[in-house]
């Protein structure tokens, strides 16, 4: 909901730092408004994410935005949306990132329902590559879900590029004391449907937690359902902690036994039983021959 009188909600027409010509607002989330803008320096179109005014005094919200900038500016991969700039205008912190034309994976799922297996595997393999790049750069995503994946038209018709977005909850694997305070053990941040058991428990995380989230996302891609279901966030989290996942082919009998086996390992309850890296996950998907 737009906050009345919030200067962050009416940035259209402004020029930030003499460089970014704001054209129009294209979206908003719980923390920020997103605008399409033109970079006067090189003429390219960018997206500018401006923190809502009511959160400027919230040290945690500002810290999350700054952390997103710090970690995402280290990333440079076609399957990851990095950050190209960070600044402050009229007292409002903002991020600048490439402007991606396309639609979110969640919107695609809503419009078309479950994906054909070959297409789902192509998308999952791309996400593995992007997340592996982030992990190698020392960054965990921690909030992977269809809303945070953008499908962008590729160089050839029908060949889309999947891009991981929104590193707002990302956590560096080598954590500074300031970030440690911000994401203290016991504070659960993320989206319940996609959170690993160890994330729900507030335990220390590693790349295998993102592996779990991608496994859940893959399950939803080909079935339209979640492997762990509940009517409330609490029920969903409890199912992740104590329940057995729904079998993939029970949810969609058309899916191959190979994909069922691969995704079942991705969402194994114990981290040691999952793929130990996104590279391992991608290799298993590649072996399915798609």
For the record, the structure tokens of 55 come out as 């959160």
Q: Would you call 6 a catalytic residue per the annotation?
A: no
CA–CA distance from 197 to each of 68, 204, 213 (Å)?
Answer: 24, 11, 10
* Residue 74 DSSP code: T
Identified catalytic residue from 143, 166, 210, 280:
143
Buried b (16+ CB within 10 A) or exposed e, 128-144: bbbbbbbbebebbbbbb
CA–CA distance from 166 to each of 51, 74, 128, 145 (Å)?
Answer: 14, 14, 16, 10
Residue 88, SS3 per DSSP:
strand
- H helix runs in the chain, sequence order: 59-72, 105-112, 117-136, 177-182, 197-200, 207-223, 233-242, 248-251, 257-266, 278-286
- DSSP codes joined into one string, 174-225: S--HHHHHHT-TT---S-GGG--HHHHTT----HHHHHHHHHHHHHHHHHSS
> How far is the C-alpha of 163 from the C-alpha of 156, rounded, in Å?
16
Tell me if 170 sits within 8 A of 68, measured CB to CB. yes
Backbone angles phi, psi at 38, to 5 degrees: -115, 130
Cβ-Cβ contacts under 8 Å for 262 (sequence gap 6 or more) = 281, 284, 285, 288
| Residues classed as catalytic | 143
């Amino acid at each position: 909901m737009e906050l009345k009188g919030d200067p962050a909600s009416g940035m259209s027409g402004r020029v930030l730092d003499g460089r970014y010509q704001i054209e129009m607002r294209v979206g908003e989330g719980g923390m920020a408004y997103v605008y399409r803008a033109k970079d006067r320096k090189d003429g390219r179109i960018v997206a500018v994410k401006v923190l809502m005014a009511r959160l400027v005094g919230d040290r945690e919200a500002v810290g999350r935005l700054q952390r997103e900038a710090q970690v995402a500016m280290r990333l440079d991969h076609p399957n990851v949306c990095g950050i190209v700039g960070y600044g402050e205008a009229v007292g409002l912190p903002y991020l600048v990132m490439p402007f991606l034309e396309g639609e979110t994976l969640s919107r695609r799922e809503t419009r078309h329902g479950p994906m054909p297996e070959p297409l789902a595997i192509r998308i999952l393999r791309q996400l593995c590559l992007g997340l592996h790049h982030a992990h190698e750069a020392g960054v965990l995503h921690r909030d992977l879900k269809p809303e945070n994946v953008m499908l962008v038209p590729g160089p050839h018709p029908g060949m889309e590029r999947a891009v991981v977005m929104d590193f707002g909850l990302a956590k560096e694997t080598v954590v500074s004391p300031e970030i440690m305070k911000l994401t203290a053990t016991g504070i659960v941040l993320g989206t319940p449907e996609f959170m690993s058991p160890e994330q729900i428990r507030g335990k220390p995380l590693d790349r295998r937690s993102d592996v779990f989230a991608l496994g859940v996302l893959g399950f939803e891609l080909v079935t339209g359902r979640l492997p762990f279901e509940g009517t409330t966030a609490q029920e969903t989290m409890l199912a992740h902690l104590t329940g057995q996942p729904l079998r993939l082919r029970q949810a969609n009998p058309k899916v191959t036994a190979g994909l069922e086996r691969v995704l079942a390992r991705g969402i194994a309850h114990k981290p040691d039983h999952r793929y130990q890296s996104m590279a391992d996950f991608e290799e298993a998907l590649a072996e399915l021959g798609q």
